[in-house]
Copies of this chain bind each other. A is one copy, B any other.
Amino acid sequence: MKNIWIDKLKEKGMRITAQREAIVDILSQSDKALEPIEVYDLTRQNHPTLGMVTVYRTMECLEELGLLQKVHQDSGCNKYLKVKEGHNHLLICRGCGKAIYFEGLDMEMQFEGIAQQHNFNLEDHWLQLNGLCQQCQASGR
């Protein structure tokens, strides 16, 4: 996972710095959407001189490369999650933030039908289920 991201950065002609590698480490391994300040804090545990500006710039690059995407939640709209190509159906835990791309619902045809009813040309969609995962239920959130 991490290596794929690093390769994509290289392909784009970007230099591989220790800072970028550390940020990629955190984000490519996280199963929850993270905001810049969280990435900053997590990365600084192993790389204490890292600056916030570098976090912002690196995350922006990763989004442009299609490796990260924004996840919108009431708790904040600045959270970024690793992309799973072709899978934009998400299940997110309100407690711990764990995000799961789920499959098994094929609703493209129905969505297309709704769009046609309203004379819309459908471009994409976003489906997100919100709830509490097993651990968070057990811990009584």
Contact = CB atoms under 8 A, between A and B. Distances in A.
- Chain copies in the assembly? 2
A118 B133 contact: yes
B131 A122 contact: yes
A129 B102 contact: no
Interface residues of A, number: 35
The 10 closest A-B pairs by CB, nearest first: A72-B72, A77-B77, A119-B134, A120-B131, A122-B131, A121-B132, A123-B131, A125-B129, A126-B128, A121-B131
Given A72-B72, A104-B117, 5 more contacts: A102-B118, A107-B107, A120-B129, A121-B132, A122-B130
Interface of A: 70, 72, 74, 77, 91, 93-94, 100, 102, 104-105, 107, 110-111, 114-115, 117-134, 137
